[in-house]
């Protein structure tokens, strides 16, 4: 089927830009099969003449489609529907699993607990920063967020969003988020199953305060995410460390602990584990759910960077197959968009959500209502989905560029496995370099990198690996950063 102006409809009275309407129309025809992969599209001039719009409008539409990987452009040949379409459907853990239910069988008690605080390091001002894995705030759709705020300013009912709202979070946002999580992660949930939080860290804290009492056993991966470990210990939990290999956390080690001790909670990042970037294999996922059922412990599943996948379809979360109702699923838009956009979420059994919402009210009456309503509109309009497609394409290119640079300049000093997705690469120093010393030398030359001290809870462990976050650096910055890292490694020999 050849694309013609008759296949596309535009309405200049809509608030959606005309170029975006055209791009959305073409995407719809690709999804419906009207336009098949590899089929030719008309030139921008031809389509502009047929639709009676400015050629720049069609160019902008094609730019949008190219940024989202819906089309391929070949010089002197033309524009074609991409042979490999960007819509990647997640793979279920098993082909036949029941949708997870949310039973009311377990009750948790709230206790007050107080311990110490944790300290966070800052990178040197002005340095390039190989962070642990954050999105590039320079591409955040801030103008779209501002657009929604401006729109609210023109609404007569905006004043209601400046008053107290639902403690569980904006109902509009929870409705849109439920649809988004169903489409992208296979979660069969409604708005009543979601609590909006200010990021994953708040969700972790609230969960730990509800679930844990003094000396409750919490299983975590080693190496792992220190931010979660600190929360569990602050709540009185006693950590049991299990090793992480190329297939994720070791299930034999988990079962061995369960046979000896009463486990209350297990924390896992199954998709791109922090810090190693490995993905928990499907068989280990199903075994983990069975262990949780048999030994009656809760699972906190961290959604960290699930949306960023570059080489294959992601495996659906544990929560999508949670037919035992014991998985608490947490995530945020802080990693999807920018760390400063403090909107996170928790999906959990309703009896648990009731208690955690009451606790959240004690420390933070509600979230930022206007921000939540604006985010709901961005989800509803498809703006978040379009941003994710653009970001995936960009971060995929940056991952490949960093891997190329590391292989070209540091192959005799480091080893690494190319991650399938996410924001960072886990590198090992072949010659057992002191990670802190390399970081110190790099900082002196203008590059901030991890000193490797936060990955292992066992501080006596001699670690020789660090994470290099590539998403927030462009190609020229990546090249400069690798050059500095190479010099820092050489200086660390002295």
- As a whole number of angstroms, the distance between CA 82 and CA 47 comes to 18
CA neighbor of 263 nearest in space, from 239, 284, 289 = 239
Tokens of 316: 């659906």
Q: Which residues contact 77 (CB under 8 A, 6 or more apart)?
A: none
pLDDT digit string (tens) for 256-291? 999 999 999 999 999 899 999 999 999 999 999 999
**Per-residue pLDDT averaged across 119-142, rounded?**
74
The Cβ-side half-sphere exposure at 414, using a 13 Å CA radius, reads 30
Higher pLDDT pick, 367 / 404: 404
Any idea which fold 141-381 has? 3.40.640
- pLDDT for residue 110: 41
SS3 at position 417: coil
pLDDT digit string (tens) for 328-369? 999 998 777 777 788 899 999 988 999 999 998 888 766 677
Q: How confident is the model at residue 159 (pLDDT cuts 50, 70, 90)?
A: low
Residue keyed to tokens 């002005």: 126
Decide which of 2.40.110.10, 1.20.1250.20, 2.30.30.100, 1.10.10.10 is the CATH code for 5-81. Answer: 1.10.10.10
Domain 386-492 falls under CATH 3.90.1150.10: yes
Instruction: Record the pTM.
Output: 0.79
Any idea where the domains of the chain sit in the sequence?
5-81, 141-381, 386-492
């Amino acid at each position: 089927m050849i694309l013609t102006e008759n296949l596309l409809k535009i309405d200049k009275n809509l608030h959606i830009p005309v170029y975006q309407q055209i791009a959305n129309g073409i995407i719809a025809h690709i999804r419906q099969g009207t336009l098949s992969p590899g089929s030719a599209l008309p030139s921008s001039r031809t389509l502009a003449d047929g639709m009676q719009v400015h050629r720049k409008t069609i160019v902008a539409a094609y730019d949008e489609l190219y940024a989202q990987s819906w089309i391929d452009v070949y010089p002197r040949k033309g524009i074609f529907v991409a042979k490999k379409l960007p819509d990647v459907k997640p793979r279920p853990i098993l082909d036949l699993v029941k949708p997870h239910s949310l039973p009311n069988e377990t009750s948790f008690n709230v206790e007050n607990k107080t311990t110490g605080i944790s300290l966070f390091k800052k990178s040197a001002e002005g340095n390039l920063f190989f962070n642990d894995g954050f999105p590039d705030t320079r591409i955040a759709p801030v103008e779209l967020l501002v657009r929604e705020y401006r729109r609210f300013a023109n609404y007569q009912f905006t004043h209601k969003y400046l008053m107290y709202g639902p403690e569980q979070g904006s109902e509009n946002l929870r409705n849109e988020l439920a649809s988004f999580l169903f489409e992208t992660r296979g979660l069969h949930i409604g708005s009543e199953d979601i609590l909006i939080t200010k990021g994953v860290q708040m969700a972790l804290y609230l969960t730990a305060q509800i679930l844990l009492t003094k000396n409750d056993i919490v299983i975590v991966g080693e190496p792992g995410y220190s931010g979660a470990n600190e929360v569990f210990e602050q709540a009185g939990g006693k950590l049991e460390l299990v090793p992480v290999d190329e297939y994720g956390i070791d299930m034999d080690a988990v079962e061995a602990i369960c046979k000896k001790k009463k486990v209350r909670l297990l924390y896992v990042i199954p998709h791109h584990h922090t810090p190693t970037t490995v993905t928990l294999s499907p068989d280990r996922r199903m075994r983990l759910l069975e262990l949780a059922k048999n030994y009656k412990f809760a699972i906190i599943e961290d959604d960290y960077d699930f949306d960023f996948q570059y080489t294959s379809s992601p495996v659906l979360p544990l929560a999508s197959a949670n037919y035992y109702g014991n998985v608490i699923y947490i995530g945020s838009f802080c990693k999807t968009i920018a760390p400063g956009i403090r909107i996170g979420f928790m999906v959990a059994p309703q009896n648990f959500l009731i208690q955690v919402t009451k606790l959240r009210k004690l420390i933070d009456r509600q979230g930022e209502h206007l921000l939540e309503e604006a985010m709901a509109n961005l989800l509803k309009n498809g703006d978040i989905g379009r941003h994710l497609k653009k970001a995936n394409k960009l971060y995929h290119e940056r991952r490949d560029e960093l891997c190329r640079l590391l292989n070209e300049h540091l192959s005799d000093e480091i080893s690494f496995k190319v991650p399938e997705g996410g924001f960072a690469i886990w590198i090992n120093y072949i010659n057992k370099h002191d990670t802190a010393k390399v970081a110190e030398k790099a900082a002196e030359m203008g590059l901030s990198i991890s000193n490797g001290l936060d990955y292992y809870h066992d501080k006596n462990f001699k670690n020789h690996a660090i994470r290099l976050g590539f998403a927030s650096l462009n190609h020229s910055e990546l090249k400069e950063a690798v050059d500095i890292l190479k010099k820092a490694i050489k200086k660390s020999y002295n």
